[in-house]
Copies of this chain bind each other. A is one copy, B any other.
Amino acid sequence: MGEAYEPRSGCPINAAVEVFGDRWSLLVLRDIVFGDRRYFRELQAGSEEGIASNILADRLKRLVELGLLTREDTRAGQRARYSLTEPAIQLVPVFAQLGSWGLRHRPTSRALRVRAELLEQGGPALWQEFMDELRRSHLGSNSPARSPSVRERLNAAYLAATNSS
């Protein structure tokens, strides 16, 4: 991690927020965590906020430099795949609290609310289970899997809300 990433103060809140810098970095991580998007093209095509390709490229590079993502080097002509690192996986509780706050205090859409609602209802036990799942798929850990997975449950709720709205 380069000199440029020394935080402006030793406050842990500042140090955390500096990593996200602007909101796009956090949204890219959100899409990898909740949307299971591992490739540049999926991240761009699926972006609810319409991220521009130059911003996406810049933020992916920055997140790799910061140690939040790893990029699998691939053979020429193959797409590079991104994986979450352990620090990025541990952002799940931060996402859950941000989602809970957004649900209460900001305009949100029904289909996109359901995942935040489920995360809130599930609380820390569900966040842990989801982090273990992410460790299996991104870090190759061997902890036992449960079925349906947290991701499957979140997606089922999202699809149900989309179809009924």
Known: A49-B8, A104-B90. A98 touches B13 (CB 8 A): yes
Q: What string of 1s and 0s marks CB contacts (under 8 Å) between A29-60 and chain B?
A: 01000000000000000001110000000000
Q: What string of 1s and 0s marks CB contacts (under 8 Å) between A1-37 and chain B?
A: 0000011111111111111111100110010000000
Q: Are B102 and A98 in contact (CB under 8 A)?
A: no
Q: Find chain B residues with CB under 8 A from A90 CB.
A: 101, 104-105
Q: What string of 1s and 0s marks CB contacts (under 8 Å) between A82-109 and chain B?
A: 0000010011011111111111111111
How many chain A residues touch B (CB < 8 A): the figure is 49
Residues of A within 8 A of B (CB): 6-23, 26-27, 30, 48-50, 87, 90-91, 93-113, 116
Specify which of B13, B19, B102 is in contact with A95 (CB 8 Å cutoff).
B13
Q: Are B19 and A22 in contact (CB under 8 A)?
A: no
